[in-house]
A and B are shown apart, each in its own frame.
Chain A
Amino acid sequence: MTITDETPETIDGAARVRQRGDNAAVLRLSEAEAAVIGSDATTPDDDERVLLNMGPSHPSTHGVLRLMLEMEGETVIRSKPVVGYLHTGMEKQAEQLTFLQGCTNVTRMDYASPFFTELAFSLATEKLLDIEVPERAVWIRMLMSELNRISSHLLFMATNGMDLGAVSMMIYGWREREEVLRFFEKVTGLRMNHNYIRPGGVAADLPDGWKGEIEALLELLPPRLEEYDVLMTGQPIWRERLQGVGTLNTDEALALSATGPILRSTGYAWDLRRDQPYLAYDEVDFDVIVGTYGDCYDRYAIRLNEVRESMRIVEQILDKMPSGDYRVQDKKVTPPPRIRIDQSMEALIHHFKIFTEGFKVPEGEAYACVESPRGELGIYMVSDGSSTPYRMHVRGPSFINVQTMPHLMRDSLIADAVAIISSVDPIMGEVDR
């Protein structure tokens, strides 16, 4: 795939997504204007376009996504995702919390894959602190990330199946995800919102018998994934419903800043784990899954096979997990072990300082990013030398991927719009933050 600078003025290039005005797929209409149109009591003619509201409380909009759809009969012409219903000002909140407390805040953004936001936050903080975490912490972080990718994609399988009428799939996906969450609970104490990955390492070492648990998990999952193949992948109904629906080409995906499965479904192999490796991803062996047609089916198949790749990575982590410390022994960053507090006045002071005032982070700015199940998740952090971030910005993959929806939906049926929302897999907690 070569990237050309000149955009061809045809429908093949990215010109389609650059359109403004009435021809654009994006409906650029304010809510006030929409309300005026909506208050028009006259019955529309048969060939007239009507404005249809979908959400924010709708079973297939994954939380509180609202869509304004301009319809011609049953065909969607233009559409506008309306977001912000879950906005809680987390970026503002982050400026009030210390770097140690920050993880409890960011972990609530993408609640289906909390480890990734924690990881990006920690990596950005460590970049500013200029510290290197011990080998074991790196591998524990990798293990938890990959297991989280599995659980997040299983959740996608469940909701995607439900949205498209394979209702039993919802129960199956949830069932397998629960097995992974059970392991998370054992390690971190919580099923979600873990606050486990922290600046300087992880909160606690892996519990006794963790290897056995993961081996059991790796044994349990493959036959279940085979079942999914029988239930969905090979099914003619499933294929009819998804193939050729909601297509996007590579130029358009790149132009729209799409990342993750949406970009890879167009046949463009870009995965930060392979292309800009962080943690120790350059020491494990895995494939980047790409699609061909950029349709809903490819996005489904990519996620299903990414579960298999993540299991491959987890297997390798089992063999390679190094021994050693699970956090950096820097008195200014990590709290001292409990036993030291009884013995040393200095340890007591450090402990007190870290939890009241927080540790100070040198002045500067940094951007750290990870490949989350939804695409590139980045944190841009500015520190002015105090113990709270001066500014923390999250590049949420869901927020940016929502932009692709009007382009995917253009000229498709409203029933396919449901499939498209599902295949973009937005997590509204991260879209709205």
Chain B
Amino acid sequence: MSDETAAAEEAEAEAVAVDLRYGAAVSESRGDVVLHATVETYLEVCSEARADGFDQLIDLTAVDYLTYAGERTLPGGLTPERFEVVTSLISHVRRERIRIRTQVSADEPTIPSLFDLWPGSEYLEREAFDMFGITFADHPDMSRVLMPEDWVGHPLRKDYAVGAIPVQFKAASNER
């Protein structure tokens, strides 16, 4: 228990050191501005961004970090989770883009829907649900979009096999 509180304090201390924007830690990736949120802060960060002039949701997708070989460090003392929902926003007036990366745990892959802020998220969230099995709470139609309705599994998860068609070769057998 004490370990947890110590870790939380440490995380808090780290959080102070990084820049904050709309209450989320900011980092920079290849020239793009990236905000880091959690499931709890996600909706608030998005609505604040919208109020600040980010008038269009340009993209929304997810990444499954299950087999990621690299090291994952997030600013603001955030704990990396298996899934990440990546939301790209654009402000036409300022000609500015931001990307919000939100950590979503594998145990409970649920995140609020952005439908009420930007109705254009409807298909993108359905795609993320279809491919990764992440549920968007309060979405008007949380159903599959690309795969058939009765499909089992979520194809873009890293533990979902690619699949192959068996090919019979007429070459010599392995026994020599």
Interface on A for B, CB 8 Å cutoff? 3, 5, 14, 17-18, 20, 24, 26, 28, 30-32, 83-84, 87, 89, 91-92, 96, 127-128, 130, 254-259, 268, 270, 275-276, 363-367, 369, 376, 378, 380, 382, 384-386, 390-391, 393, 395, 399-400, 402-403, 432-433
Q: Nearest B residue to A366 by beta-carbon distance?
A: B30
How many of chain B's residues have a CB under 8 angstroms from any CB in A? 50
Known contacts A92-B155, A391-B63, A395-B59; is A84 also within 8 Å of B145 by CB? Answer: yes
B residues less than 8 Å from A83 (CB atoms): 145-146
B residues less than 8 Å from A128 (CB atoms): 30
- Report if B23 contacts A (CB, 8 A): no
* A364 nearest CB across to chain B (Å): 6
Report whether over half of chain B's contact residues are helix, strand or loop; otherwise say mixed.
Answer: loop
Additional pairs, 8, CB under 8 Å, beyond known A84-B145, A91-B156, A380-B61: A3-B53, A24-B140, A83-B145, A255-B120, A257-B118, A364-B29, A393-B63, A395-B58
Binary flags per residue of B143-166, CB closer than 8 Å to A gives 1, else 0: 111111100000110000010000
* B31 nearest CB across to chain A (Å): 8
A residues less than 8 Å from B29 (CB atoms): 364-366
- Which of these, A270, A395, A403, A432, contacts B122 with CB under 8 Å? A403
The answer to whether B95 and A275 touch across the interface, beta carbons within 8 angstroms, is: yes
> Complex formed: what's the CA distance from A269 to B147 in Å?
35
- Which of these, A28, A386, A432, contacts B140 with CB under 8 Å? A28
Interface on B for A, CB 8 Å cutoff? 29-32, 34, 50-51, 53, 55-59, 61, 63-64, 68-71, 86, 88, 92-93, 95, 97, 99, 115-116, 118-124, 127, 131, 140-141, 143-149, 155-156, 162
* B127 nearest CB across to chain A (Å): 8
A residues less than 8 Å from B55 (CB atoms): 3, 254
The answer to whether B70 and A257 touch across the interface, beta carbons within 8 angstroms, is: no
Known contacts A84-B147, A96-B162, A432-B146; is A384 also within 8 Å of B70 by CB? Answer: yes
Known contacts A127-B30, A384-B70; is A20 also within 8 Å of B86 by CB? Answer: no
> Complex formed: what's the CA distance from A30 to B123 in Å?
14
29 pairs of residues in contact across A and B, judged by CB atoms under 8 Å: A3-B93, A24-B140, A26-B140, A26-B141, A28-B141, A83-B145, A84-B144, A84-B145, A89-B155, A91-B131, A92-B162, A255-B120, A256-B119, A257-B120, A257-B121, A363-B70, A363-B71, A365-B86, A366-B29, A366-B30, A366-B32, A369-B58, A376-B58, A380-B59, A393-B59, A393-B61, A393-B86, A399-B123, A432-B146
